[in-house]
Amino acid sequence: MKSPVRRNLRTAVLLLLAMGASRSAVAQQTRAKAPPPVDVTLTTKDGVQLRATYYASTAGPQAVPVVMLHDFNETRAVFDPLARSLQNPPTPENPSVPQIASRAVLAVDLRGHGGSKSVQAGNAAPIELEANRLQQADFLAMVDLDMEAVRSFLVEQNDAGNLNLNSLGLVGSGMGANVAILWAAKDWSAPPLPVRKQGQDVKALVLLSPRWNFKGLMLREPLRFPPIQRQLSVLLAYGAEDKAVADDCKAIEKILSKHHPEPPADRVEQMKDFYVFAPETNLQGTKLLTSDAFGIGLQIFNFLETRLGRQAFPYSVRKYP
């Protein structure tokens, strides 16, 4: 039986399609159903065995990749309904309405969470990580090491013609939202190489209840970084009735809104690239996402289609023989 969240998201997307909201050229092709999700293991440079689920796309080198990062003491499972809907958008009943293209989604258990608790360094005995015992260095390693392993996997898929890494979107909840912002800044800090593209792959961020500072994952510096301020499309969502979270998110909104002016009324669909959704609720993060009351899943779905699916980001191979 399908979950209520997934069923409601599917219904809402069908309504969106019926209204003719998608104009993606890729989406007009007849699309085969995507293969079942597969669990994969990504090994970090310090030996952490990251467990992840990969939802492969059918759109080949034009597929938009989306990485999903959970909150503290959660796992990648919280994103499964949204990931499946992005991988297999519902087919519109009206054949004249363009089909939204399949996305390539990677949902990751960050170190110390879910299945990502084993560290195997050389011939030493495995070490077990627990979320509640992680230190600041462990949280920073999520950005520096976990996300580098994620990128390596995406590069392999990109070069195999299974997705377009240059149109990368990150969806993060709570802790995962902080990791997403910090890694996006790192991605945009990578120096250009004369022979191949490196970095500047992240084009959109979905931030569910980020915090100004979560266990050392501080946002002050990345939010001062011009590419984060100006180059990325951002959807910020949080529950307005939790004062602590709302204050942090309003501070983030204040910084980003200066660099994303509201476009003219007749150009909103084409130009708007900063969205804030703050319903009157105490729910935050993935609890806000999975609630049937607020339609956050559809907001994310439409945002990714508008800011990534309908944009023309060139594809390029990253590794050379």
pLDDT of amino acid 321:
54
pLDDT of amino acid 150:
98
pLDDT of amino acid 9:
61
pLDDT of amino acid 28:
42
pLDDT of amino acid 128:
93
As averages over each run of 10 residues, the pLDDT of the chain (321 residues) reads: 56 50 42 89 96 97 98 98 94 74 97 95 83 97 98 97 98 98 97 84 98 98 97 98 98 97 86 96 97 94 95 89 54
3-state secondary structure the chain: CCCHHHHHHHHHHHHHHHCCCCCCCHHHCCCCCCCCCEEEEEECCCCEEEEEEEECCCCHHHCCEEEEECCCCCCHHHHHHHHHHHHCCCCCCCCCCCCCCCCEEEEECCCCECCECEECCCCCCCEECCHHHCCHHHHHHHHHHHHHHHHHHHHHHHHCCCCCHHHEEEEEECHHHHHHHHHHHHHHHCCCCCCCCCCCCEEEEEEECCCCEECCEECHHHHHCHHHHHCCEEEEECCCCCHHHHHHHHHHHHHHHCCCCCCCHHHHHHHCCEEEECCCCCCCHHHHHHCCCCCHHHHHHHHHHHHHHCCCCCCCCCCCC
Structure token digits, residue 48: 């952490």
Domains of the chain by start residue, with CATH: 4-309 (3.40.50.1820)
pLDDT of amino acid 31:
60
pLDDT of amino acid 95:
73
